[in-house]
Structure 1
Amino acid sequence: MNTVNVSRRTLLTSTGGAIGLASIGAFGALSPAAKALASTTKDAAKPLPAYASWKNTDSLIIHSANTMETKRSAFGSGVITPLDRLFVRNNIAPPSEDIVANPDVWELKIEGVKNPTTLTVADLKTMGMASVAMVLQCSGNGRAYFPEKPSGTQWTVGAAGCVVFTGIPVKTLLEQVGGMVESAQYMTGTGGEPIPEGLDPNTIQVERSVPLEGIEDALLAWEINGEPIPLAHGGPLRMVVPGYTGVNNVKYIKRLAFTEEQSPANIQQSGYRLAPMGEKGAPAHQSVWKMPVKSWITYPAGEAEQTVKAGKVQVQGLAMGGTSEVTGVEVSLDGGKNWQKAEFIGPDLGPYAWRQFVLSTELKAGEYSITSRATNKAGDVQPENRLENNRGYLNNSWADHALTITVA
């Protein structure tokens, strides 16, 4: 559980919307998340790398040149996350900025189909187009709440955003190339990051395989939020698999293959596996593919200088259903002992997008442990406890995401 002690000031600053999502988490002094918050000022002062120089530094926690987290206070009042505030996560350094200068000439090899071919982005744009609103979330979002401190970036809630991707449906592309080979069991995307000379590509290459069921709503996308995908988010072309964690949405995709086996790359064979504590990831462990149902509170969860004043309070948050649309969310003001139904607000952008929610309540002076619990159409309910694993993946525990608020 995370703690914020809020002194007297105004309840709500000017958010300009029904749901301001105004807050960055402030956490207990001894928790992993507390350290993340304590370093926010220092991290925000870090310079942005050239490929992300257009980002809004006031909205981000800069963990490193390849890892940037959206602050709780920066999700905004709309469902869609502005690109200049959207988190960044790269497993290795991105390619040269030159590749997005003329995105239409980027080439994609298509293999494991009846008619293998190479197509440019310009070619793909003539074959079909669709858009999908979806949550893009790093597999390790929520890692900071694991008491064992797994290795990796100590994300709290900000390694996530809701965006709209536009491109050609993979199913449409398959029709153009005669369909996949009969032996195919996986859709495998290979990223275009440069591999240093002399290294075995499998040791570093970003290449991910997902089960064929992921094809249903998958895209090869060239736009995000209505503009060409920038290098920071995988342009000029990205494999998009709605409902699956970020690593499976391969950036700078240069090869799309329909394969009988999963990729031999380390990032597939041993990386992103749900290995037990103390064990290294291996093919025998479940791969990190689909996102689970999840939610978190975004207000009140303010910085130290913000306040929660006794009286009417709009408890706000975000909820997602993973691969099944989110259908309900409850809020608890007492650490999960009692729950109240929250209301969805704002537009419903489809099963893969998140929903804003609000609970209008009266808070007297005192201490409250506030958390949320979402349910999706498949009947999955956000659990109390995290799924323990060695790298801190897929944390959707409502208990971990609870915030202790002092109301004055």
Structure 2
Amino acid sequence: MSESIQTACLSSASRRRWLGGAAGLCLLGGWQSPVFAEPRVLPGYASWKDASALEEHSHLALETRRSAMGSSVITPASQLFVRSHLPPPEARILSDRDAWVLQTAGLKQARDITLGELRELGLETVATVLQSAGNGRAFIPGKVNGLPWGVGAAGCVVWSGVPLRRVVSALGGLDPAARFITATGAEVLPEGIDPLSLLPERSVPLLALDDALLAWEMNGEPLPLAHGGPLRLIVPGYYAENQIKYIRRLAFTEQESAARMMARDYRLTPVGAEPGPGDAPLWEMDLKSWINSPAPGGRALKPGPVRVLGVAFGGTRAVRQVEVSVDGGQRWGVAQFSGPDLGRFAWRQFVFETELRTGSHVLASRVTDAEGREQPRLRTDNAGGFANNSWLDHAIKVQVG
């Protein structure tokens, strides 16, 4: 093959951005030559992550592959999904983390406070599920607006920081009119637009105050830029969109934010309707579970013993029980928890031992929380494809034999 043809073939492979280590065939005039793709390159802010564990939906959206979920409770930072609405601030904001300034409002002694000062107010550590509200959207038939997340827009993370209630106490307590916690990120907005159209700002109800953190550490390491460093609001049990990265302003407000991200986006809007502030906001996560292994679409399994692995969580409630079905939900068996209980906001990993005969099998899981709520069979349809926790949608088909 000529050098020009080889170059063309390599360029074609590069444009397709095959995964590092994968091989392709360039078909030219019936002659086949194996071409090994270049290692996949992630966006600069996430270049330290494990590219083989992530699927890139866009420059600002990286999904953890189901095969990379593993069997440990905590999701490594190198494999954790990323979802951003704007490019992150410049990395120099991490050069002096303690100098980061948080503006406050709606407090009796509201003032600017540095991260260094926040460290002096207290420290707590909590394990939580971090999950985008769009996780599971890919399983909804038909065209739905939004990124086609499978199960990988989620992970279980350990956060460390100061409890928000300690900050409130240190700054004199709440303004009596406060009803919401409103957080604003520090991303740079494009010029010439209405700031409210892209402002990274969300409000959550004041009842979240007891559990919320201002976190500066993730999985025992300083919070990386990709996940909101140097400082991020963590609201355990709530969808990730409420957990504002690069938090620059913390306000306790009488009204919800007027930013589009709050007023129109991330709400349960009926199919075909125009979104608006009257629709239910996506705050607390629904209970949910899914199976990670055996993976769908893989090689046929051998008849006989099969170990089913997955994860389950209850949003703001603890998990009581997980059941698994191997016949599409006709019969269920109780699974065993396979790892430590890290608290009601973390997920529980489960294992179910069974035997499968030759043929096709539909595997499903469903979780029951501590208050007796059960994961539903069907999803609640909505315009954005949000909050899909249907066990039927998340069921997988495997072939045996």
Give the CA deviation at 1:199: 2.3
Q: Which residue of 2 aligns with 1:104?
A: 98
Pick from 148, 155, 158 the counterpart of residue 161 of structure 1: 155
1:217 maps to 2:204: no
Q: Which residue of 1 aligns with 2:10?
A: none
Give the CA deviation at 1:366: 1.5
Q: Which residue of 2 aligns with 1:57?
A: 51
Give the CA deviation at 1:316: 0.9
Give the alignment of 1:220-239 within 5 angstroms: 220-239=214-233
Query: Structure 1 length as normaliser, TM-score?
Result: 0.88
SS of 1:328's partner is: strand
Consecutive unaligned residues of structure 2, counting only runs of 5 or more, are 1-15, 23-38
Give the CA deviation at 1:200: 2.0
1:291 maps to 2:285: yes
Q: Which residue of 2 aligns with 1:375?
A: 368
Give the alignment of 1:144-155 within 5 angstroms: 144-155=138-149
* CA-atom RMSD in angstroms: 1.5
Distance 1:307 1:160 in 2: 27
Q: Which residue of 1 aligns with 2:385?
A: 392
CA deviations 1:231-253 (Å, max 9, x no partner) are: 10011000000000000000000
Pick from 254, 264, 275 the counterpart of residue 281 of structure 1: 275
Q: Answer yes or no: is the 8 Å Cα contact 1:113–1:181 preserved in 2.
A: yes
Q: Answer yes or no: is the 8 Å Cα contact 2:223–2:229 preserved in 1.
A: yes
Q: Which residue of 1 aligns with 2:319?
A: 326
Q: Answer yes or no: is the 8 Å Cα contact 1:385–1:399 preserved in 2.
A: yes
Q: Which residue of 2 aligns with 1:32?
A: none
Give the alignment of 1:76-225 within 5 angstroms: 76-225=70-219
Q: Which residue of 2 aligns with 1:3?
A: none
| Equivalent residue letter for 1:270 | R
Cα distance change, pair 166–191 in 1 and its aligned pair in 2 (3 A)? same
Q: Answer yes or no: is the 8 Å Cα contact 2:297–2:398 preserved in 1.
A: no
SS of 1:405's partner is: strand
| Equivalent residue letter for 1:50 | G
Query: Structure 2 length as normaliser, TM-score?
Result: 0.90
Give the CA deviation at 1:198: 2.9
Q: Answer yes or no: is the 8 Å Cα contact 1:297–1:316 preserved in 2.
A: yes
Q: Answer yes or no: is the 8 Å Cα contact 1:40–1:61 preserved in 2.
A: no
| Equivalent residue letter for 1:254 | R
Cα distance change, pair 222–81 in 1 and its aligned pair in 2 (3 A)? same
SS of 1:254's partner is: strand
Q: Answer yes or no: is the 8 Å Cα contact 2:17–2:40 preserved in 1.
A: no
SS of 1:289's partner is: coil
Q: Answer yes or no: is the 8 Å Cα contact 1:46–1:62 preserved in 2.
A: no
Q: Which residue of 2 aligns with 1:361?
A: 354
Distance 2:88 2:323 in 1: 40
Consecutive unaligned residues of structure 1, counting only runs of 5 or more, are 1-38
Distance 1:340 1:78 in 2: 23
- Identity %, equivalent residues: 49
Distance 1:152 1:80 in 2: 27
